[in-house]
Structure 1
Amino acid sequence: MASSPPEPQKSPRQFSYKIILLGEVGVGKTSLFNRIRTGEFIEDYDCGTSYYDNMYYTTTVGDDEVNVMLWDMGKPQNFRECKPGYFYRNTDGVLFVFSVEDSYTFQNLQEWNEELVYRIDNLDSLERALIGNKCDLPCEIEEEQVKALSKELQVKQLHFVSAKTGENVMKTFNDLIAVIHHRRTKVPEGSNTDTPVTDIEKSSKCICC
C-alpha cells in the first residue's frame, strides 16, 4: 500500500514592528545600534549628515517570523532640522537609554518621555524598556531612583547593558521584541520561546551589572 505524501509544511507567520532609541547625546544609542547591527563595538562611528539611521533585524518568536526596523537619531543638530514626527510615526516599542555614569542623562529621560507623549498617538499600545548603558563603568545612579523613574515612564522592562562589551545587549533587544509580539498577537508567553523579563524588581537587583 502506497504511503500518503507528507503534508506540506506551513510557512511561518510574518510580523513587522518598529522600535526607536531615545536618550541624550553620549549615552551610547548609536553604539547600541551598531552592536545590534554588526555585533561589534564601533568607537568612532560617524553618522555624517543623516537625520536618522535605521536597520532591519529578523528573529523568531515562537513559530512566528518577526521583522524589526530599529531607528536611531543622527547628530542632534540634524535631527532637530528634520521632521521628528516621521521618526516617531508608527512606533511599537521604545528603548529609553541613559548612561549609568552620568546622572544627568538619567534625569533628562523625563524630557524625552514628554516628547514621546507629544509625538505618539498610540501610547496605550506602546511597549517601553529602560536601558542603563555603559554598565562596565562605575555607576552614579541609585537603585531606588531607577525604580521610581521606571514607574513614571510606565516601563515594564529594565536592563543594564554595555555596548562596548556586548553584555546583555541582544537579550535586552530580543526581550522587548518578544513583549511587543506577545501583546500584538496574544501569543501565550512561554510558547516555544523564553518568557521576557518584565519584573522591575528582578531585572534591577544586579544594578549596573
Structure 2
Amino acid sequence: MAVQPDVLTMKIVLLGEVNVGKTALFHRLKTGTFSASASSTLGMETVEREFTVDGEPVRLQIWDTAGSEKYRTLTANYYRGAAAVLYVYDLSEEESLFGLVAWMDDARRFQPDHMAILIGNKCDLESEDVVLTEATIQSFYQDNDFELSLCMSAKSGQGVDACFHEVARALLARSSGANATNGYSPGVALDDAQRRESQQDGGCCS
C-alpha cells in the first residue's frame, strides 16, 4: 500500500539486550497478540502503525533487529533516518537497563539527532518480581538524556498502544518545532494523559 503523502511517517528502531522482549513487542504491534515462541527471522523486519494525535495522523514505521543484537552486528543502515530509538529493558533484570549504555553509544554515533525513549517492558509482573526501583530508573533516565520514560507489557498488551501514542505525540511536537516533552512528566510512570488511555487497556505502571 502506497504511503499517503500527507501523513507524517517516522522511523522508529528498537534496541536493547537479548531477551528483554523486543521481538515480543514487535509481534504484539504486528499481530495484536503475544507469542512466547515468537522467533526472529534473518534480516530486519518492519511494521507500520498509525496513530491520531490532535486530529493529525502520524505513521510510525517500527524496525526490529531480527536477532542481530546477539552478535552486535547492527550497521549504520539500521539506524539511518531513525526519528527515535526505543531503548527497551526488562523491569526484572537490572543488567538490561545498564546494558543500554553500549547501545546508546552505537545509536548516537550513527544517528546523533534521534529522540531517545526509555521503555520498561514486563510491567505486568508481580511487584516482588520487579527488581528495578523507580529511583534507579529515573536516575538512569536523567543521567543519559532521555526525552521520555514509559512502560508497557508486550505479554499482556498493557500500555502498549498508550505508550506508542505518546511516542507519536512527542515526534509530532518535535517535527512542529515544539518542545517534545512539554506537558509530560518524565519518569517511570505514565503521566495523567497516558494513564487515562492505558486504563482503557487494563492499566500499566500505576
Cα shift readout 1:62-114 (whole Å, capped 9, x = no counterpart): 23222221001012378645x61110000101111000111111110111111
Cα distance between partner residues in 1 of 2:58 and 2:184: 20
Provide the TM-score with structure 1 as the length reference: 0.79
Aligned to 1:93: 84
Match of 1:159 in 2: 150
When Rg is computed on C-alpha atoms for both structures, the one with the higher figure is 1
2:37 corresponds to which of 19, 44, 49: 44
Q: What is the rounded CA distance, in whole Å, between the counterparts of 2:184 and 2:6 in structure 1?
A: 25
Alignment correspondent of 2:200? none
Contact 1:19–1:92 (8 Å) recurs in 2? yes
Shift in CA distance, 176/204, structure 1 to aligned 2, threshold 3 Å:
closer
**Post-superposition shift, 1:187?**
6.7
RMSD after superposition: 2.8
Residues in 2 aligned to 1:79 and 1:63: alpha-carbon distance in whole angstroms = 42
Q: Which 5+ residue runs of structure 2 have no aligned equivalent?
A: 196-203
**Partner Cα distance (1:64, 1:166) in 2:** 24
Q: Where in structure 2 are the equivalents of 1:32-181 lying within 5 Å?
A: 32-48=25-41, 50-76=42-68, 80-81=72-73, 84-121=75-112, 123=113, 126-137=114-125, 138-181=129-172
Q: For the Cα contact (< 8 Å) 1:35–1:163, is it kept in 2?
A: yes
SS at match of 1:200: coil
Please, which runs of 5 or more residues in structure 1 have no aligned partner? 1-10, 190-194
- In structure 2, the partner of 1:23 is 16
Structure 1 residue 188, shift from structure 2 partner: 9.1
* Structure 1 position 159, deviation (Å): 1.6
Tell me if the contact between 2:49 and 2:60 (Cα under 8 Å) persists in the aligned partners.
yes
Give the % identical residues.
26
Conserved? CA contact 2:13–2:84, under 8 Å: yes
The two structures have a TM-score, normalised by structure 2, of 0.80
Shift of 1:43: 1.2
Q: CA, structure 1 residues 208+51, in 2 after alignment: closer, same or farther (shift >3 Å)?
A: same
Aligned length: 189
